[in-house]
Amino acid sequence: MKKYVLMIMNLAIYIGATFLVFDKLGNYLYYNFEWYYSLFEQNIPLELAFLSCINMLVYLLIFYVKKIFLKERYESLWSVCNFSMLTRKQMTLFTFIGLAGTFWFISFMKISFIGEKFPDLEEYIEIFSTADNFFYVFLGVGIAGVFIEEILGRGLIFNELKKVMSLPTALLLNALIYGYLQPSPIIMFTGFMLGILYGLVYFKTQSLWSSIWIGIVLNVSMFTFNELNIIDMAGRLPDLVLVLITISTFLFIIFSVILLFKSDSLSNDTLNTKNSDIGLKG
């Protein structure tokens, strides 16, 4: 019973801290400081980067407080999340998974029925493309946002769930939480799917770099395609073609995850000991 109470307390702290930064603090600054409004009104990705940095500082503060009270039982944020290095083979595989995820998302949302029924998908991209410079999109949506999402979603929440639950239960609940934190029902669905994917990849590699890298590739390619009007061009494809792309990219992702689990050269099973090294092996 004690371990469940501890898990709930930790989850409440991590999720609560994130909510306070992105919702309460963000809204307070937006409505009370003209400089904040002027800077970020037309630069939403830059605001995401700014709040992500603050959120990261809050996480570090939480773990600093934990260090004071836990002493010899203390684990650092880096150790808990596990930033083990990745190999070239893993990086290549995760790059292709990220690109497949981008093509899946684009083709899925451009299917006539889906686009008409769920305009939130395109609105989501347009909102986070609002910036004076594409570099801000790259920085906020492509890098900072992914780091915070994965530190919270996989590094903290998933690891807390795994301490007291079986892997399938922890994986499912983590994906549900990740999806629930998204802004609309259809984005919740895609978030749930990504939560399953990220959780499986993270579990197998034992490195948060794996899900972070997939997220970076997916977001950067997605918003780059939007900047180059490739997404609009995809909308002119016949629905049959879009459905085939949606199915084929989905199957590719499933096959890639199966390959990850079956291939010893793609697994970090020999590196399962906690590793606080932060880096990507070239």
Residues 65-109: tens digit of each pLDDT: 999 999 888 999 999 999 999 999 999 999 999 999 999 999 999
Question: With bands split at pLDDT 50, 70 and 90, how would you rate the model's confidence at 274?
Answer: very low
Summarize the confidence of residues 133-158 as an average pLDDT.
96
Comparing 275 with 176, the larger pLDDT belongs to 176
Residue of 98, 82, 79, 100 whose CA lies nearest to 90: 98
Looking at the domain assignment, is residue 92 inside a domain? yes
Q: Kindly list the distances between the CA atom of residue 144 and the CA atoms of 11, 41, 239, in Å, as whole numbers in the listed order.
A: 21, 18, 34
Helical packing angle, 88-110 and 239-262, nearest 10°: 150
Percent of the chain with pLDDT over 70: 94
pLDDT > 60? residue 174: yes
Task: Using pLDDT thresholds of 50, 70 and 90, give the confidence band for residue 195.
Answer: very high
Task: Locate 30 and state its tokens.
Answer: 């937006």
CA–CA separation, 221 and 146 (whole Å): 13
Structure confidence at residue 279 (pLDDT): 43
* Least confident interval from 23-37, 43-57, 176-190, 248-262: 176-190
DSSP string, 178-198: HHHTSSSHHHHHHHHHHHHHH
Residue ranges making up the domain that contains 192? 2-269
Mean pLDDT of 148-165: 95
Is 50 exceeded by the pLDDT of residue 270?
no
Quick check: is 277 in a domain? no
Residue 281 lies in a domain: no
Which pLDDT band, with edges at 50, 70 and 90, does 267 fall under?
low
Comparing 73-82, 168-177, 184-193, 273-282, the range with the smallest average pLDDT is 273-282
278 found inside a domain: no
Which tokens sit at 207?
């490195």
Largest CA distance in the chain: 61
What is the distance between the alpha carbons of residues 136 and 140, in angstroms, rounded to a whole number?
6
And the tokens for 212?
Answer: 């972070």
| Degrees to nearest 5, angle at CA 189 with 103 and 235 | 35
Q: Which pTM value belongs to this model?
A: 0.92
Nearest CA to 91 out of 271, 226, 219, 266 is that of 266
Task: Share the mean pLDDT of the chain.
Answer: 91
The span from the CA of 81 to the CA of 75, in Å, is: 10
279 found inside a domain: no
pLDDT band at 137 (very low <50, low <70, confident <90, very high): very high
- Alpha-carbon gap, residue 91 to 98, rounded angstroms: 10
Query: Is 239 buried (19+), middle (13-18) or exposed (0-12) by CB count in 10 A?
Result: middle
Residues 223-258 have pLDDT tens digits of: 999 999 999 999 999 999 999 999 999 999 999 999
Q: Please tell me the number of Cα atoms within 13 Å of 87 on its side-chain side.
A: 14
pLDDT at residue number 268: 63
Give yes or no for residue 261 having a pLDDT over 70.
yes
Q: Tokens for 138?
A: 């790259």
Decide if pLDDT at 281 tops 80.
no
Decide if 275 is inside a domain: no
Give the model's confidence band at 276: pLDDT under 50 very low, under 70 low, under 90 confident, else very high: very low
Is 276 part of any domain? no
Please state the separation of Cα 36 from the chain's center in Å. 26
Indicate the number of domains in the chain: 1
Amino acid making up residue 124 = Y
- Residue 274 domain-assigned? no
Mean pLDDT over 27-38 rounds to 95
How far is it, in rounded angstroms, from Cα 100 to Cα 253? 7
CA torsion sign for 203, 209, 210, 212 is: positive
